[in-house]
Amino acid sequence: GENVEQHPSTLSVQEGDSAVIKCTYSDSASNYFPWYKQELGKRPQLIIDIRSNVGEKKDQRIAVTLNKTAKHFSLHITETQPEDSAVYFCAANSGNTPLVFGKGTRLSVIA
Amino acid sequence: GAVVSQHPSWVICKSGTSVKIECRSLDFQATTMFWYRQFPKQSLMLMATSNEGSKATYEQGVEKDKFLINHASLTLSTLTVTSAHPEDSSFYICSASKGSGGYEQYFGPGTRLTVT
């Protein structure tokens, strides 16, 4: 089955700096890669996703890149703000399998 | 649209009792629903996948007789934790998919279960 590795587990950045979180996956059949933001005690919120027919996707300060050959994808947050502080999860699946999540990255943005 | 609700949002029960958690898709029909468990400071771990009208598929290590899942309609799935023990205390989150696969899952708000 699919296995998703996520790094780093914790990340501290100064406000205004960029943050990058990386994930690798094992199943070459996976073709959907979402990123979730989870605040303490709340549900995961989808912040951006990418499908395998696209190499990069951007939404304001958030971007995701996908390298299918190397089986890795990354989340980039620019101009970080304190409200970006949360736990971020990457995930992967193909059309008929459940999402498999990475272990999460705790992002702290220091004002 | 794509709103998923969960009830209750939190529950405290005594060891040995059973607890039922409901997951509803409010504005769409969910062919597939997923149940996850999340321990503090850990990731979401898939417990089972349920498809309307058929038996749930449980992940390895999840006891199907302890975690009873019923997906009786396209908008409702229930998870019953039977004979709960303190180690079952966790955050249980459901999600729903509009299609037959896992694309774009919509998460419920979660249920925090505490077993005393």
Q: What tokens appear for B51 in the block? A: 């498809």
In tens, the pLDDT along B61-107 reads 999 999 999 988 889 999 999 999 999 999 999 999 876 555 778 89
> Which residue has better confidence, B14 or B32?
B14
Q: Find residues 59-98 of chain A whose CB sits inside 8 Å of chain B.
A: 89, 93-98
At A27-73, the pLDDT tens digits run 999 999 999 999 988 999 999 999 988 899 999 999 999 999 999 99
Which of B35, B43, B113 should one mutate to test binding to chain A, selecting the residue with the greatest count of A CBs within 10 A? Answer: B43
3-state secondary structure of B87: helix
Q: Does B101 sit within 8 Å of A95, measured CB to CB?
A: yes
Asked if A68 and A88 count as a contact pair (C-beta separation under 8 A), the reply is: no
Contact A96 B105 (CB under 8 A): no
Which residue matches tokens 């999860």?
A89
CA distance A70 to A51: 15
3-state helix, strand, coil in chain A (%, to 5): 5, 55, 40
Q: Is A29 on the interface with B (CB under 8 A)?
A: no
